[in-house]
Amino acid sequence: MGRVLFLKRKISITTLLIVIGCCLLFVSSVLAQPGAYHFGFKKSVDGRLPSIDEEGFKDIIMKHGALFLGDTNKKDLFLTFDNGYENGYTTKILDVLKNKKVPATFFVTGHYVKDQPELMKRIVAEGHIVGNHSWSHPDMSQLSEGQIKLELEKVKEQVAILTGQKEMNYLRAPRGIFNERVLAASKQFGYTNVFWSVAYKDWDVNAQRGTEFAYREVIKQLHPGAIILLHSVSKDNTEALGSIIDEARRQGYEFKSLDELMISSELLILRANKEHAE
């Protein structure tokens, strides 16, 4: 009997040590995972270029070909909107873009695709690009590679069915939260991650501060190669958009599409590789 109790006790201790060891391995594995970042940048002031030198993620942004700004030697601007849900302003935004002949990219969620089919069709019909903002707007840094793929595929498939836009090449991670796994996986699935170099707190619909405020916040940050992020839920943005476009053009800027940015970026890479080879 004593020997039996001894063996049971020995087995129990061994089991406990195995469990503890597994727990330690799990904790170690979790701690070893790449940290998540919330995209931020040092804003442009007086025409000086913004930077991401101090945020700790520049290396992985560059490694995976994510966009933060365009060619800083050209006075090009790239206008982008995040459309998580409709707040009654996208029709007017599209009216202004059509009147001013300005291309834009609209990053949409699954909710927006399901909720606003006619606006989705109009966006594509008028020559704008639809980008991926994920199906359910999750923190993508918490998702597995398979979950990331599903989030992106559902948006792409439904947009294609609804609008005929077969290709979807650009991704904006919800809330700008990402890690290296998000960048690597989405790149593998054919996406270029698009961040921004001009933005302000425009998404809070209960804290709109007027047309003039929105106008000043955008104009004071303009710089060559700027990728501008605006939220389509903002009343202030909508009312200021025409004036922003006019003033930017008065300053010598030209609005271009993300597709044009990608072409110029690829040419720059080819030119650099050729010079390096020579």
| Contact in structure between 76 and 253 (CB atoms under 8 Å) | yes
Helices vs. strands in the chain: H and E counts, helices first: 10, 9
**What is d(CA 141, CA 161) in angstroms, rounded to the nearest whole number?**
28
Closest CA to 109 of 37, 178, 173: 173
Residue 56 makes CB contacts below 8 A (sequence gap 6+) with 37
| Contact in structure between 154 and 110 (CB atoms under 8 Å) | yes
Helix, strand, coil shares of the chain, percent, nearest 5, are: 50, 15, 35
Q: What is the CA radius of gyration of the chain?
A: 23
> Can 202 be counted among the known catalytic residues?
no
Q: Which amino acid, residue 226?
A: A
Q: Beta 177-178 vs 37-38: how paired, if at all?
A: antiparallel
> Can 82 be counted among the known catalytic residues?
yes
Catalytic residue among 64, 128, 137, 231: 231
Catalytic residue among 76, 82, 202, 236: 82
Catalytic site positions: 82, 231
